[in-house]
C-alpha cells in the first residue's frame, strides 16, 4: 500500500508540473485577436471554471493502471 501512495503522489506532482508547464507555453504563444474585440471599454472578462473532476478521474485511471499492473506482474 505504501508503494501505491508514493505512486499516486508522484503521479499527481508530475500532472501538476505538466499542467503548469503547458499553461505557461499556451500563455507565451497566445496572440489576441483584436479584430473581434468590442469597441466599448465596459466589456467584462469571463474566466473559466476550475474543476477537480479532471484530477480525480486521472488519479482513478492511474490507480486502476497501478493495481492492474501489479496483478499482472504477480502472475
Supply the pLDDT for residue 37: 61
Nearby residues of 37 by Cβ (< 8 Å), 6 or more positions away = 43
51 or 60, greater pLDDT: 60
User: Does residue 56 form part of some domain?
Assistant: yes
State the average pLDDT over residues 20-39.
78
Domain count across the chain: 1
User: Does residue 70 form part of some domain?
Assistant: yes
User: Does residue 63 form part of some domain?
Assistant: yes
Domain that holds residue 75: 9-16+52-75
State the average pLDDT over residues 43-64.
75
The answer to whether residues 72 and 13 touch, using CB atoms and an 8 Å cutoff, is no
pTM above 0.85, yes or no: no
User: Does residue 73 form part of some domain?
Assistant: yes
Question: Length of the chain in residues, anyone?
Answer: 75
User: Does residue 45 form part of some domain?
Assistant: no
Asked if pLDDT for residue 28 goes beyond 80, the answer is yes
User: Does residue 62 form part of some domain?
Assistant: yes
Amino acid at each position: 500500500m505504501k508503494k501505491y501512495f508514493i505512486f499516486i503522489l508522484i503521479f499527481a506532482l508530475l500532472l501538476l508540473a505538466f499542467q503548469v508547464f503547458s499553461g505557461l507555453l499556451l500563455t507565451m504563444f497566445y496572440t489576441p485577436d483584436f479584430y473581434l474585440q468590442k469597441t466599448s471599454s465596459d466589456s467584462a472578462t469571463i474566466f473559466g471554471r476550475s474543476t477537480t473532476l479532471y484530477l480525480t478521474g486521472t488519479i482513478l485511471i492511474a490507480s486502476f493502471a497501478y493495481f492492474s499492473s501489479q496483478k499482472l506482474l504477480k502472475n
